[in-house]
């Protein structure tokens, strides 16, 4: 099994397009919090990828804002913000992670593996952000920028649809067209520290199976859940 995962990590590194000088950064980026539950922290803090994920979220936001400012010099702040949200949300990160084939390279606890952690969009998205932070720490901003430009190429080229930039309104209108009450959202879990929380939100529409999504804020999680439901129901 170790050899299988080692091969998966090597394949992932090739797809990411960055050869790590410090391989421990890549290993940490791929280590889910479930692996170290109850373990003492190392000299640099917890050995899982949560702190890297926190940093990667900010690196991704900077690189995306930089790219959008260059690509759309006439766009106003509202247009740029809407586009940025669609590019940095958990759904976009999960799609990047799927394209990288990140699942087999993850380090998960046995329990998390049994519950399908290698296929969970939230787990994959978090690892993508952590990898971007690891690249930044290993090679600097230029290295992270190069990885971003390649990994997010399809996301950047995709037209900005209203369903992705304002998914809650789109889901509300879809529910009304179906003759159903408005969607409802509730927080089912809040994890992480106070400075870097992660919210899990469930969205429900009458007559449709609910689903959950995660985000850095309640608003982000609600938007991610709305996008996921729109995708599942074939609206986008």
Q: How confident is the model at residue 160 (pLDDT cuts 50, 70, 90)?
A: low
Residue limits of CATH 1.10.1520.10 in the chain: 2-160
Torsion of CA 69, 71, 73, 79, to 10 degrees: -70
pTM: 0.70
Residue 120, helix vs strand vs coil: coil
Matching residue, tokens 């797809």: 15
Decide if 48 contacts 28 (C-beta within 8 A). Answer: yes
Q: Which residues pair with 42 in a beta bridge?
A: 45
Decide if 114 contacts 29 (C-beta within 8 A). Answer: no
21-98-29 Cα angle (round to 5): 35
The per-residue pLDDT for 90 is: 85
Instruction: Dig out the tokens for 218 from the structure.
Output: 């309640």
Instruction: Dig out the tokens for 193 from the structure.
Output: 């520290």
Residue limits of CATH 3.30.160.20 in the chain: 165-232
CA distance 177 to 131: 41
Quick: pLDDT tens for 113-157: 888 889 888 899 999 999 999 999 999 999 999 999 999 999 988
CATH classification code of 165-232: 3.30.160.20
Active site residues: 57, 129
Fold of the domain built from segment(s) 2-160: Ribonuclease iii, N-terminal Endonuclease Domain; Chain A (1.10.1520)
């Amino acid at each position: 099994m170790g050899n299988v995962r080692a091969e998966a990590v090597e394949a992932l590194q090739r797809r990411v397009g960055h050869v790590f000088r410090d391989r421990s950064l890549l290993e940490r980026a791929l280590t889910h919090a479930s692996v170290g539950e109850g373990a003492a922290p190392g000299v640099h803090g917890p050995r899982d990828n949560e702190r890297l994920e926190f940093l990667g979220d900010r690196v991704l936001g900077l690189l995306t804002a930089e790219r959008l400012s260059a690509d759309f010099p006439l766009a106003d702040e509202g247009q740029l913000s809407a586009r940025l949200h669609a590019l940095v949300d958990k759904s976009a990160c999960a799609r990047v992670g799927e394209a990288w084939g990140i699942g087999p390279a993850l380090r998960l606890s046995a329990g998390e593996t049994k519950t399908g952690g290698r296929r969970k969009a939230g787990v994959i998205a978090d690892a993508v952000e952590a990898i971007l932070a690891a690249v930044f720490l290993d090679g600097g901003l230029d290295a992270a920028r190069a990885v971003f430009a390649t990994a997010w190429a399809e996301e950047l080229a995709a037209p900005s649809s209203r369903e992705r930039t304002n998914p809650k309104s789109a889901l509300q209108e879809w529910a009304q067209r179906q003759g159903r009450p408005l969607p409802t959202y509730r927080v089912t879990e809040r994890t992480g520290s106070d400075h870097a929380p992660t919210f899990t939100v469930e969205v429900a529409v009458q007559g449709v199976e609910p689903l959950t999504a995660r985000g850095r804020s309640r608003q982000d999680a609600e938007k991610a859940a709305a996008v996921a439901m729109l995708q599942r129901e074939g609206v986008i």
